Each structure stands twice: as C-alpha cells, then as structure tokens.
Amino acid sequence: MSEEVEVQVNETTSEKAKGKTSDQVSKAIENAGESVGKALTNIMDSLETALTGRGNTVMVRVNDEALEKIDMLVASGICSSRSEATAFLLQQGIERSSALFDRISDVTNKITAMREELQDWVKEAK
C-alpha cells in the first residue's frame, strides 16, 4: 500500500511541478503528504470505531465483488482478517447512512406509539 501511495504522491507532485518554482514544488509535496496522512488517519479512526465492542457474531453471505473488496482490505494490511474487514465496511455503511437510519427510527417510533394507542383503546373498550 505504501508503494501505491508513494507512486500516487509522485504522480500528483509531477503534474503540479510543471512550471513551478522549487518552493512551490516543496509546498505541493508537503500538501500531498498531509492529504495522505489525513486519509490514513481517517481510515485508522474508522477502523478503530468498527472494531470496538465486537462481541456479536453475524454470519453473512456476500457476492464476488464484496468479497474482492474485503480481501483487498486484508491483502493491503489495513485489516488483519475478513471478519475485521467486514466489520470495517459495515461501520462505514452505517456512518454514511445516518439520514436513512434517522428516518427509519422516526417512522418506527410513530408506529410503536400508534400501536400502543390502539392497544389502549381496545383495553378501554372491553
């Protein structure tokens, strides 16, 4: 993975270097390094969140594309196992779907309240 990042940084830096002074090139390299560092920090933070409190077991079947991505995380060393990679990807999906889960929660709470109201009405009618 570090070779990929290095190649990517070098390619980005080379493109930015055309027609620039050495100070500008140095600044571009510094900015690229900061961007890579921030990305790695975000990945590590997300991974730590995903792996905290993993006391529950879920068996899941995945398609070939998902398995390829899971194996990519393991092969790159970002995750140490398929289980860890799957937990990481699941956490990422949850975090990026917060609006969906907020809406589901709102509707579910309304349904629960209506069900309780109906049950109370039936008890009173008896």
Quick one: pLDDT band at residue 41, thresholds 50, 70, 90? confident
Residue 40: per-residue pLDDT: 67
More confident residue, 90 or 13: 90
Structure token pair of residue 31: 């900015």
Distance CA 77, CA 3 (A): 13
Q: 4-36: per-residue pLDDT in tens? A: 545 455 555 555 545 557 777 677 777 777 776
Report the predicted TM-score, pTM, of the whole model to 2 decimal places.
Answer: 0.53
- Helices in the chain by DSSP H: which ranges? 2-17, 22-51, 64-75, 82-96, 98-125
Residue 66 backbone zone (phi > 0: left; psi -120 to 50: alpha; other: beta): alpha
